[in-house]
């Protein structure tokens, strides 16, 4: 695990709300005078056994009640960045859900300014860099997503892109074409969740109707060989989250995960953690799980790390810097390899 943690990583699929650890839930609840329906953090964590995506989303949204103001979001962001730094993350492109907070009466500026406070502090302390991606909730009205985008642009929110998340089944990406067109015209990068619970058609909608540059999850592409060939030919990154897929029963266990098939087919696979407070694993633990399950060698692990750098929205010079650090991890110039 020590060697995996030492690998420089870029994380591309991480919901900041999904890093809200039970202990922080209770700390913020006490500070904000909120009564929770659980005795303690242990009882809350015991509820993190999910049947599917919807059962996870229910408790995920319930816990957000403790995030009330700018300081709360700053603590959340700083806590994630600190844990991510320990996992070897040098850059993260972080999702947040504006609508999940504005519908509760929290202003957009409190959310964004708080997250930036936490990440800027982490950058000063640890050197980790971050970019914010605002995700629209696909199970809420399109008009609300459009209004949220307009507000993000009006306040000049420091976001690098937009995404689409929440319940995939029954909420087709094609409904959000106008939202993504408008975001693209504003110069924002485009990503979307697809192919986690939904099938290949969900991925095709994200590619063809939303014109996304990355597909978040995308594991169901294995059900369509032609789609797999297209993804490989176009080098479309997939931001895969192995432990999340297991905990939400998208796959039975790590050994059943289609990751080896995707790698073998030449797809641009990246490894990420999704909602680590709920799924029992930050990005280093996701890497460790696939290394153990599939007996991956260092060259394959390094290639996955390089894939994340190439799939990021970083500028070329920063990408080159991180690539060099990964190469050094793979073949240290002197002093031997890091300890296992």
Residues that are catalytic: 196
- Measured CA to CA, the distance from residue 62 to residue 146 in angstroms comes to 24
Helix (H/G/I), strand (E/B), else coil: 281: coil
- Measured CA to CA, the distance from residue 46 to residue 59 in angstroms comes to 12
Rg for the chain (alpha carbons), in Å?
Answer: 19
274 is in an annotated binding site: yes
CA distances from 252 to 129, 243, 255, 271 (A): 34, 11, 8, 18
97, 95, 114: which is closest to 11 by C-alpha? 95
Q: In what order do the strands lie in the sheet with 268-271?
A: 9-11, 89-96, 129-137, 159-165, 189-194, 214-217, 237-240, 268-271
Strand 159-165 with 9-11, pairing: unpaired
CB 310 within 8 A of CB 238: no
Q: Counting Cβ atoms within 10 Å, is residue 331 exposed (0-12), middle (13-18) or buried (19+)?
A: exposed
- Measured CA to CA, the distance from residue 146 to residue 239 in angstroms comes to 25
Q: Can you point out the beta strands (E) in the chain?
A: 9-11, 89-96, 129-137, 159-165, 189-194, 214-217, 237-240, 268-271
HSE (CB half, 13 Å, CA atoms) of 57? 13
275 is in an annotated binding site: yes
State residue 268 phi and psi, 5-degree precision: -85, 80
Binding site per annotation, positions for substrate: 275
Q: Which residues are annotated as a binding site?
A: 13, 15, 193, 274-275
Binding residues for Zn(2+): 13, 15, 193, 274
């Amino acid at each position: 695990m020590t060697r995996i943690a030492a690998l420089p990583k870029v994380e591309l699929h991480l919901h900041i709300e999904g890093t809200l650890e039970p202990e922080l839930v209770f700390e913020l609840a006490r500070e904000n005078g909120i009564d929770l329906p659980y005795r303690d953090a242990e009882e809350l964590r015991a509820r993190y056994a999910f049947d599917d995506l919807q059962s996870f989303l229910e408790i995920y949204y319930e816990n957000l009640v403790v995030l009330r103001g700018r300081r709360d979001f700053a603590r959340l962001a700083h806590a994630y960045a600190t844990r991510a730094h320990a996992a070897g993350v040098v850059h993260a492109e972080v999702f947040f859900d504006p609508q999940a907070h504005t519908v509760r009466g929290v202003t957009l500026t409190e959310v964004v300014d708080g997250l930036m406070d936490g990440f800027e502090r982490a950058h000063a302390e640890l050197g980790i860099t971050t970019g914010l991606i605002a995700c629209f909730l696909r199970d809420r009205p399109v008009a609300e997503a459009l209004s949220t985008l307009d507000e993000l642009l009006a306040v000049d929110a420091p976001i690098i892109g937009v995404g689409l998340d929440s319940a995939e089944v029954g909420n087709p990406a094609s409904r959000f074409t106008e939202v993504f067109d408008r975001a693209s015209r504003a110069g924002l990068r485009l990503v979307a969740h697809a192919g986690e619970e939904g099938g290949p058609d969900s991925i095709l909608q994200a590619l063809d109707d939303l014109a996304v540059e990355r597909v978040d999850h995308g594991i169901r592409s294995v059900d369509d060989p032609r789609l797999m060939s297209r993804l490989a030919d176009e080098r479309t990154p997939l931001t895969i989250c192995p432990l999340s897929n297991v905990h939400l029963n998208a796959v039975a266990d790590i050994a059943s995960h289609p990751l080896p098939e995707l790698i073998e087919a030449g797809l641009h696979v990246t490894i990420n953690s999704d909602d680590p407070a709920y799924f029992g694993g930050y990005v280093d633990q996701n890497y460790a799980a696939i290394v153990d399950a599939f007996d991956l060698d260092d060259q394959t692990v390094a290639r996955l790390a390089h894939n994340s750098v190439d799939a990021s929205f970083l500028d070329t010079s920063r990408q080159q810097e991180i690539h060099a650090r990964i190469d050094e991890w793979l073949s240290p110039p002197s002093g031997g390899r890091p300890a296992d």
